[in-house]
Structure 1
Amino acid sequence: MTELRVIEPPVPETAVATLYCFPHAGGSAGEYARWAAHTPGLRLVAVQPPGRAHNLGAKAFTAMPELVREILTRVRFTPPFALFGHSLGALVAFEVARALRQRPLRLFVSSCEPPPLPGRAQPLHLLDDSALHAEIERRWGPLPATARSDKDLLSAALACYRADLQVLETYEHVPGPRLGCPITAIAGAEESRGGALMTGWREHTDGAFESCERPGGHFHTREDLDGLGRLLGDTVRADLIRAERDMSR
């Protein structure tokens, strides 16, 4: 059974907007749930596709269109809101923003080059389990020790990665109208090409564009959570003030 989950940590009393978050390949919503203590001005909603965490054995999505359709069906986007996606999640958030009738306050894209994506000589999702495991750890670091020491758990985790990588590697960008909302592109300072990789996102919005680098590598989202929380919260609050000012004119 393919089942998408929506995880919502307790809502802080100071929340003025909702931030919908989409995970990286192989990632789970629990990572974003931990941000709640660092983003007091935001209500966090973490969108978890099937095939990971407590739903590890479920069938995962393998194509972007069906994943986006399921998100639009299962997730209620309550304004005012913004979208955040890391790595593969950035592409998912972008396609959700394009498909929504309601315009988000802002789209945050993290550590993902903008579409259209270059082709890959050897797609990772076609590798056998052993080669896929080695390539995942070479690129993004070791899998959790619990997965590495349990054959069945490792097999399920690799199946999740394989499905997500298939979403990424078969993704085809369909040109269309640019977004009307601002985009903030974020990269880790230690990533290959860093912020330079993200500048092309400017071409996907008619609104404002900002880019920044944060301490760390590809998973900079796991470092300096207070700093990341301030960046997200301050930006969304400023967008909300501007939106309210525009409406009062």
Structure 2
Amino acid sequence: MTSAGRWFHRPVDRPAARIRLVGLPYAGGGAAVFRTWTEALAPDVEPVWVRLPGRESRLRETPLSDWDALVGAFGRALMRHVPSPYVLFGHSMGGMLAYETATAALSRPPERVVISACRAPDVARALPAIHRLPGPEFAAALRDLGGAPEEVLASPGLFRLLEPALRADVRLAETWPAHPPRPVPVPVTAVWGDADQVAPRSAVRAWRHLASGGFRGHEVTGGHFFLSDPSAGVVDLVNRELGAAG
């Protein structure tokens, strides 16, 4: 598989697209997190779903649990394989990666960053750390959070297979930010769920203090994983934001 194929899943070929949407999933997720989005996006938007090491077709690769290593590797792949103009969308831990990437020294920055269900870096984490817990306790904590499919948590063999990526991502989320907060040089759109207790409204709206390029905030219906609920209307919201970008 090529480097582009490892990092990016392009479900439809839209070479004449006006703009590209680069989707970064939540902890433990892959490109499949966005599988229902493709047909719902505007026809002039090319979907580019991110697949990090250690999941889906990259299951045999070692997951990255260090921010500098992950941002460096992802940023190089982004600059090599995703033409401008593009927008970064990240949910939860994916929002952290979108922010870290957008504030890195990219040769071609995004038009906008859409950060979903993710606290600002200068807001304290709401929940205790779990990434060092033993396997059964770690699985139980993920179940309480709603952060992994029940079929994974209910199958010891499947959980052991996916546990390295889950732990790596949760460790990233719980050790973030790795550096003092930096302003975002492009416009920021922040999205929060009205029932999210992991990244509540005040924690997500705090991005406005770092959005030197402009800020817009939106509330949707749902808890922390509203991304998976079509009734939350996130794709429609993203289409509107993309209409103002590029």
TM-score band, normalised by shorter chain: 0.7 to 0.9
Q: For 1:214 and 1:226, how far apart are their aligned partners in 2?
A: 6
Cα distance, 1:106 vs structure 2: 0.8
Q: Is the 8 A contact 1:19 1:43 kept in 2?
A: yes
Cα distance, 1:74 vs structure 2: 2.0
Q: Alpha-carbon deviations, 1:86-115, whole Å to 9, x = none?
A: 000001000111112323111000111110
Cα distance, 1:178 vs structure 2: 2.0
Q: Does 1:127 align with 2:129?
A: no
Q: Which residue of 2 aligns with 1:236?
A: 242
Q: Is the 8 A contact 2:27 2:147 kept in 1?
A: no
User: Which residues of structure 2 form unaligned runs of 5+?
Assistant: none
Alignment of 1:24-173 (within 5 A): 24-40=26-42, 41-75=44-78, 76-99=81-104, 100-118=106-124, 123-140=129-146, 143-145=149-151, 147-173=152-178
Match of 1:43, SS? strand
Alpha-carbon RMSD across the aligned residues, in angstroms, is 2.4
Q: Is the 8 A contact 1:7 1:47 kept in 2?
A: yes
Q: Which residue of 2 aligns with 1:219?
A: 225
Higher Cα Rg, which structure: 1
Point out the more displaced range, 86-95 or 206-215.
206-215
Distance 1:64 1:20, change over 3 A: same
TM-score, normalised to structure 2, is 0.86
Q: Is the 8 A contact 1:125 1:162 kept in 2?
A: yes
Which has the larger helix fraction? 1
Q: For 2:217 and 2:116, how far apart are their aligned partners in 1?
A: 10
Specify the code of the residue in structure 2 equivalent to 1:136: L
Q: Is the 8 A contact 1:7 1:33 kept in 2?
A: no
Match of 2:36, SS? helix
TM-score, normalised to structure 1, is 0.85
Q: For 2:147 and 2:121, how far apart are their aligned partners in 1?
A: 25
Specify the code of the residue in structure 2 equivalent to 1:103: P
Give 4+ residue runs of structure 1 displaced > 4 Å after superposition. Answer: 119-122
